Structure 1
Amino acid sequence: MSPAAHTGEAPPGLLQQARALLIRTMTFYRDDPRTASWLRERLERIDEPLRIAVTGRVKSGKSTLINALVGADLAPSDAEERTQVNTVYQYGPEPRITAYTPHGAAQNVPVSTLDPGTIRDLQRWRPDEVARLVIDSPSPGLQAITLIETPGVSSSAVKETGRSALAQILTEADAVLYLTRHPHQTDIQFLQSAHELQVARRAPINTILALSRADETGSGSSDAMPAADKVARQYRDEPRVRSFAQYVLPVAGLLGQAAATLSAQDVDVLAELARLPAEERENLLLSADRFVNSTTPETIPAATRQDLLRRLGRFGVEHATTLIAGGSGDLKKLRSALLADSRLNDLQEAVHQQFVERQEALRARSVLMAVDMVLRANPRSGAQQLRGEFERLLANAHEWDELRLLSALHSGQVRLPGREQEAAERLLGAFGSQRRTRLGLGTDTSEAELADRAGEALVRWRLLATDPMQDSVHREAARTVLRSCERLIAG
């Protein structure tokens, strides 16, 4: 019987157990300074903000989405892929830039403010000169998360350093936001290769696949977002994608970023376009060249048209004018509508639900992956006990099962009928991990009432888990909820 059972206390959670195993592994390898130091870094990261790698195809909009997630214009964006250096955006009380060489030497770059142009120039250094940039920013959006921007997976920097080096960076992050305009075979193969370790296969819970620049899907016209939704559904239901990601979301990052910076003067220009007859406006926006070189209406100069295209894209200009023509000419209303239609809100909610709210499960995943990597790379006599404890934690990591099912329920990969969906999400901890919250009861509920409600839930989900009328997917989902009910009773 465990000490927790003697004292009546709840047993330690998965992250606590993983931390304890990491410390024991670090002690076991204390005569190997390099390994012990590497493990110590992983131990220190447990108490730091969650690390999210933002990676993907070349020119997939990584910088745009980083700025959207942070809520500040930090990451520079260019018409061409320029990022050659892994760039870490983290919280700091004062603006600061530190450049690290491949040999680990650090050099502070004197700055008083964080200008995207300065960061852009540093990101263009070759990987053999600068291995990593660390950007400290006082932006509140970085207090809970640290973002790691990588070069595009097909960029010259990755070709020089190797895809294995990029995959290594992804294993060092707690979570991954992967961006691509349209999933290619190389994207899927790369993400599968990053999930080859035993822990990653057991817990495919740390990746969100975003179909970025969704406004360019198809012809990039008004039906672009519905077309992107269709593509996202197709890939979300593909078994290979489900093996490493629960969320597949379309997002128009440029449109969302433009919504945040739209001015009253911009609205005036867009309103002039909106006053044109619908057919004339549609013909005007058939191509970027036609729009820029047109003299209709004459009051809008070519430079202004070019600026609108750069900031909103052709889809954004067309969509904004349609919204204004429909009555959304107020700046606040137009910003809100553009932001909603960009799906940035959906992505931010997915990041919050999948990553931030369940960060203990993700941190435990990172810790156990570090232990697994060391035990595989440096096997030695006497490590069998560590390996046995690792395997036990891996087999009993119910927190990962909960997170995987929650993600599947939120994304629509798994659908439960009627009230069962809401009940399952609550019992799985979607609205809070406290016992009373999971059972839908108030803070003044007695232990007897808690036990009764937990018992009722247990009986209900046990029946669903063994119902022969349900398919295997729903029975497996019910078994996961059933185990959560068993833990609520044990607690």
Structure 2
Amino acid sequence: MTGASGHDVHARMRWSLHALCDAVDRFGGPPARPITAEVRRTLDEKIRVAVVGRVKAGKSTLVNALIGKRVAPTSERECTKITTHYRFGSPERGELVLRDGKRLELPLDGGSLPEDLPVDVTEVAHAVIWLQVDSLEDIILIDTPGLATTTTENEETTRRALLGHDGARQADALLYVFHNVPYLDDVSFLQEWATVTDKPGESAASAIGILSHADQVGGSPWGDDDPIELAKKQATGIAKLHGAQLGTVIPVAGLMAASAATGLIRERDARTLAKLADVDDFDLELRDPNDTDAEFAGVSGTEVQNLVGLVGEYGLRYGRSVASEGSRAVSEWLRERSGIETLERSLRERYIARSHFVKARSSLNTLERLAWSWGAPPKLKELVSEARLREEFHPLRELDALERLAAVAPHHELVQLLDLQLSARDDAERIGVPGASPDAVSKAALMRVAQARRAMLVTSAPIVQHACRTLERSFTIIARRNQQQ
């Protein structure tokens, strides 16, 4: 391989962050050490993504769909008042982390927290549940109490965990769940989230909006318009309106997604749904949900309501077309139509695949907040400011430019070029000449420098200019690095 490999880039960044923590410890003294210790610890962790939103927005249903197991409580139980971290691990087990640092073993109830906790919820910092499920191998998923709740303590728990009120932010990125549109307090929380990030636009890069209940947009799935198609248009409009806070907005039908992901659709359900294929939509729309004696093509009213509990009214109307192919076909259809596949792909591309860079950016931001906090020695500001200018942290500028540009112009040619800088195996691939010698890579990089400068002159869009400026430095670094070989 030519030049710096992906592993080399990550290793240099980690080494520099550890060295920066050591320097911060020397000048910051005892007040800094708990924060630098947390930075060191989280650098070795998987990326942490928190699911946030108002009460009843559909957060826990979304968590269950992403994990593929019914573990997050969807009823108003005591454990909905605490933040819960879902992690990969065996044996499956639970633990309470208390505010005073103590840890208590917690027996699980079918993989979920028990209904009652052994201590008062005000004593709990968060809970941790280890599950042996593939979906958690590359991510830590954090379920949070609802915002905009009448219980002040519940909302404060979420703010303390995510906004760093205890001195360290628990999440690297957010999935912000809202029903129909973000309300003023939703936007307010996202703006607070922006205050714990580093640059304008970075809060949007680290937050995905989830338009929940996508199967109910427009009021009813029995009308002329497909609610999920309406939800897609609505999500696009919300993304444009709130682009400063949300990098993208994805419509998701949570119930449909959770039923498919958690294996609730059985062959018996598929057969029952298939029997309804020729029933007139009008008859199903106007049925009385409480009429258990009703019958539709041999299917009782009770059975119809059971299906609605699994797939919603939307699944009842549109899912009949695939039900004759069996439960697997129904589940696959539910996954695709619910939007959960789009969300999973976005999580992989935005966060998991770039987790080394996202973690490094989060760590650098944490150290910068410490450096600019009241009473911090001036030397800390100098240390962090100098670190941001180092070559080994330039990939964070590439990530910033990529996310800003992708948010407004996802198909722009520079998006692919910026992504290549972060994902390529070596410098030859980054510059588009795989297998070339160091000398050839250096010459090709200098040509790219000239192209980036010309592109900067012919565009008036600030975000594109920022991307060009970032790539100019990327290619300059590659050229210099390969001249030295």
> What interval of TM-score do these two structures reach, taking the shorter chain for normalisation?
0.7 to 0.9
Structure 1 residue 446: deviation in Å?
Answer: 1.8
Task: Name the counterpart of 2:446.
Answer: 455
Q: Judging changes above 3 Å, is the alpha-carbon distance between structure 1 residues 180 and 44 closer, same or farther for their aligned structure 2 residues?
A: same
Once structures 1 and 2 are overlaid, which stretch shifts more, 292-301 or 50-59? Answer: 292-301
Find the partner of 1:115 among 110, 115, 129.
110
Task: Name the counterpart of 1:60.
Answer: 57
Cα separation, 2, equivalents of 1:363 and 1:354: 12
Q: Judging changes above 3 Å, is the alpha-carbon distance between structure 1 residues 115 and 425 closer, same or farther for their aligned structure 2 residues?
A: same
Structure 1 residue 167: deviation in Å?
Answer: 4.2
Give the match's secondary structure for 1:437.
Answer: helix
Structure 1 residue 97: deviation in Å?
Answer: 1.1
After TM superposition, the structure 1 = structure 2 runs for residues 257-336 of structure 1, keeping only pairs within 5 Å, are 257-260=258-261, 261=263, 262-276=265-279, 280-285=280-285, 289-290=288-289, 295-297=294-296, 299-324=298-323, 329-336=325-332
Give the match's secondary structure for 2:57.
Answer: coil
Q: Judging changes above 3 Å, is the alpha-carbon distance between structure 1 residues 11 and 405 closer, same or farther for their aligned structure 2 residues?
A: closer
Give the match's secondary structure for 1:440.
Answer: coil
Give the match's secondary structure for 1:134.
Answer: strand
Structure 1 residue 449: deviation in Å?
Answer: 2.9
Residue 196 in structure 1 maps to residue 195 in structure 2 = yes
Q: Is the 8 A contact 1:97 1:109 kept in 2?
A: yes
Q: Is the 8 A contact 1:85 1:125 kept in 2?
A: no
Cα separation, 2, equivalents of 1:408 and 1:351: 16
Instruction: Provide the aligned length of Structure 1 versus Structure 2.
Output: 462
Q: Is the 8 A contact 1:83 1:123 kept in 2?
A: no
Counterpart residue identity of residue 409, structure 2: V
Cα separation, 1, equivalents of 2:42 and 2:424: 24
Gaps of at least 5 residues in structure 1 are none
Task: Name the counterpart of 1:165.
Answer: 160
Cα separation, 1, equivalents of 2:272 and 2:155: 46
Q: Is the 8 A contact 1:200 1:369 kept in 2?
A: no
After TM superposition, the structure 1 = structure 2 runs for residues 24-173 of structure 1, keeping only pairs within 5 Å, are 24-32=23-31, 35-78=32-75, 83-111=80-108, 115-116=110-111, 118-119=112-113, 121-122=115-116, 127-159=121-153, 162=156, 164-168=159-163, 171-173=169-171
Q: Is the 8 A contact 1:203 1:400 kept in 2?
A: no
Q: Is the 8 A contact 1:292 1:305 kept in 2?
A: no
**Which has the higher relative contact order, 1 or 2, with Cα contacts under 8 A spaced 6 or more apart?**
2
Listed one character per residue, the Cα deviations across residues 299-352 of structure 1 (whole Å, up to 9, x for unaligned) are 32333223222221111222212445xxx7344333222211111111111111
Cα separation, 2, equivalents of 1:441 and 1:294: 71
Task: Name the counterpart of 1:375.
Answer: 371
Find the partner of 1:178 among 176, 179, 183.
176
After TM superposition, the structure 1 = structure 2 runs for residues 219-258 of structure 1, keeping only pairs within 5 Å, are 219-221=219-221, 223-238=226-241, 241-258=242-259
Structure 1 residue 70: deviation in Å?
Answer: 2.6
Task: Name the counterpart of 2:382.
Answer: 388
Structure 1 residue 153: deviation in Å?
Answer: 1.0
Structure 1 residue 298: deviation in Å?
Answer: 5.7
Gaps of at least 5 residues in structure 2 are none
Counterpart residue identity of residue 346, structure 2: A
Q: Is the 8 A contact 1:292 1:306 kept in 2?
A: no
Q: Is the 8 A contact 2:54 2:147 kept in 1?
A: yes
Find the partner of 1:362 among 358, 361, 373.
358
Cα separation, 2, equivalents of 1:422 and 1:196: 26
Find the partner of 1:440 among 428, 432, 437.
432
- TM-score by length of structure 1 reads 0.83
Cα separation, 2, equivalents of 1:467 and 1:425: 19
Structure 1 residue 191: deviation in Å?
Answer: 0.6
- TM-score by length of structure 2 reads 0.84
Cα separation, 2, equivalents of 1:208 and 1:185: 17
Structure 1 residue 67: deviation in Å?
Answer: 2.7
Task: Name the counterpart of 2:22.
Answer: 23
Q: Is the 8 A contact 2:79 2:116 kept in 1?
A: no
Residue 488 in structure 1 maps to residue 478 in structure 2 = yes
Counterpart residue identity of residue 476, structure 2: E
- When the two chains are superposed, the root-mean-square deviation of aligned CA atoms in Å is 3.2
Once structures 1 and 2 are overlaid, which stretch shifts more, 41-50 or 192-201? Answer: 192-201
